Structure 1
Amino acid sequence: MPTDKEILDLIKNTSELRPSNNFLSKSKKVLKVKAEKINQRRRIRRNAKFGIIFSMSLAIVLWFSFFNGSQSVLSTYNSILSSLSQNEKLTTTTNTDPSVLIYHTHNQESFTPYIKTDTSIEPFHTEKNITLVGEKLANFLNQKGVNSIHDKTDITKELEIEGAGYGNAYDSSRKVVTDALNQNKDIKLILDLHRDNLERRNTTVELNSIEIPRISFVVSGNSYYYEKNLKVATLLHEKLESKYPGVSRGIITKGGDTPGSYNQDLHEHSLLLNIGGVENTLEEEYKSAEIIAEVIVEVLDDLE
């Protein structure tokens, strides 16, 4: 058996092996044939792909042209949108239950800058009225993450249709509150929004060189929930006074000489809210609506 050294010497001294010309020629032909087959398969796959795309495009054109395909597409599209819309509604109902109800017993209360009347007659309007302020308040609350309901029932018009007097307004708005509570079990605060009938000098304060309508909280002493409603009013008043000194006109308690309870017997967190007065403008009222929205958001979690 040769040693390792002998094997190495043999390899070192052996002449270099070179393939013959015949071997090279045959190998070149074999490789060329295989390359042609590979290219052919690639061309077949490419042509097949283009053929499928062309056939599908032609089928779609024929479908739209002769088989009313566009209507089917639109129908499917609309079905999808409808399904998405329904899901969105379900999500809103389930996850964002309303916390605040805003309504207006005297919904057509308006402002003298828009309606010129005899000084003995308060201005009322079917469009430019306190309802617009309620809408702004609801929007501000929603923007701050507090879901709210703003009821726009035209109580004044309903009274006219029924032939009832203005003194029956709270009877009509009582149904609004009752229906809302039956449909929304998680309401934590109810606000009957009004504007006062006092003069501007009593309802407006200057804050940082801006005229701001003042806000008062009215609590009925005739309500079963008087003490709890008073506590809510106190929380809102104190928070408002600490953040915006002078904007609150304080808490007004209506006693036994006032008929009814302003519907405050329907919920333990129910108030009548006066924003500004008859001589303020809507633009001014909106500023106070934003302020009280901020206060409500901060106090809402403290309501038991």
Structure 2
Amino acid sequence: MVRKIKGLVFTLLFFFSLPIVIGLLPFPNNEKFVPAAPEEKILFASNDLVVSDVAPPADAYKVLLVFTHSHETYKPLLENEKGMVAVYDSKTNLFSMHKLFEDYFRLNGISAKTLQVDVMDVMKQKGKGFHEAYKTARPYIAEELKNNHYDLILDIHRDSTSRNKTTVVHKDVSYAKASFVIGAENPNYKHNKAVAQSISNAMNQIIPNISKGIIEKKGTGVDGVYNQDLAKEFVLIEIGGIDNTEDEVYRTAAVLAQAVANGLARK
């Protein structure tokens, strides 16, 4: 009787253990499941970004984009478009990139609008010199600010220095460096500078050293105001230089939009 009971117990233990043993064997379907590592947040999509279905909330932080030197361009961008090299162009330029800049802000819940004035084209029509760009843009900006409220005005430019001074690489991805120019001869100087510093700090928190910081301008031979007297939240930003690629510029535009959303828009 005892022998029968031992046999029954052994049989039950065998059939109970069999699935566990089989599961430990190296069959194709018995591979250990390893969850995928979380993907790093994508800052930059591509220059064919589509955000037509993304709309910021009605009370969204509002940004006005201005392109005073509207025909500033990048050598690689113009080479791709026209097979030639130049640093200014009437068609392929910073102003022509405004839609993507708007889209990156929109993706971050910010309402962005571009001042629809090709300033350098207006200068050409009126026979104005390059040094008159800010004076030419001024009435258009003033009129826009009179009719609409904005939390931030960004005048977007391109630096003229070489690639080694305008590029930063982070995790094997290259970005166009940014710098902020503040006119130190206007009544809003301190407030302009504080806003610029806030954006610069936020950008560097996302991509270390992407912002070169703030450049103050005053004295003989410079504007010293840059229309920043028109609003306390008026900032001039230079994105990249003549040798930066289109993708590098857009990556930095994405970082800029996220920095504004993370910093100023949350205050």
Task: Please indicate the TM-score interval, normalised by the length of the shorter structure.
Answer: 0.7 to 0.9
Provide closer, same or farther for how the CA distance between residues 152 and 278 of structure 1 changes in structure 2, counting only shifts above 3 A: farther
Bigger RCO of structures 1 and 2 (CA < 8 A, at least 6 apart)? 2
Alignment of 1:81-160 (within 5 A): 95-96=58-59, 99-113=62-76, 114-115=78-79, 116-117=84-85, 123-160=87-124
**Structure 1 runs (4+) greater than 6 angstroms displaced:** none
Residue correspondences, number: 206
Aligned partner (choices 220, 245, 251) of residue 281 of structure 1: 245
Counterpart of 1:229? 192
Which residue does 1:67 correspond to in 2?
none
Structure 2 residue aligned with 1:177: 141
Structure 1 distance, partners of 2:73, 2:132, is: 19
Length-normalised TM-score, structure 1: 0.64
Number of the residue aligned with 1:200: 163
Instruction: Kindly provide the amino acid, as one letter, of the partner of residue 104 in structure 1.
Output: F
CA distance change for structure 1 residues 286 and 261 in 2, over 3 Å: closer, same or farther?
Answer: same
Cα separation, 2, equivalents of 1:132 and 1:96: 28
SS at match of 1:205: strand
In 1, Cα distance between the equivalents of 2:134 and 2:157? Answer: 13
Establish whether residue 164 from structure 1 lines up as the match of residue 128 from structure 2: yes
Q: Secondary structure at the match of 1:250?
A: strand
Paired residues of 1:203 and 1:277 also in contact (CA < 8 A)? yes
Provide the rounded CA distance (Å) in 2 between the counterparts of 1:284 and 1:140: 14
Answer whether contact 1:133 1:285 (CA < 8 A) is retained: no
Q: What letter matches 1:253 in structure 2? A: E
TM-score normalised by structure 2 residue count: 0.72
1:282–1:152 CA distance, 2 compared to 1 (3 A): farther
Q: Considering only CA atoms, is the larger Rg found in Structure 1 or Structure 2?
A: 1
User: Any gaps of 5 or more consecutive residues in structure 1?
Assistant: 1-91
Structure 1 residue 247: Cα displacement: 0.6
Check conservation: 2:217, 2:224, Cα contact below 8 A: no
SS in 2 for 1:157: helix
Matched residue type, 1:173: A
Answer yes or no: is 1:252 the counterpart of 2:215: yes
Name the CA distance, whole Å, in 1 between partners of 2:213 and 2:197: 9
- 1:278 positional shift: 0.6
Query: How much has 1:159 moved relative to structure 2?
Result: 0.9
Aligned-partner residue type, residue 200 of structure 1: R
Measured on the aligned residues, the alpha-carbon RMSD in Å equals: 1.9
- Matched residues, percent identical? 28
SS of residue matched to 2:247:
helix
How far 1:134 moved relative to its partner? 3.1
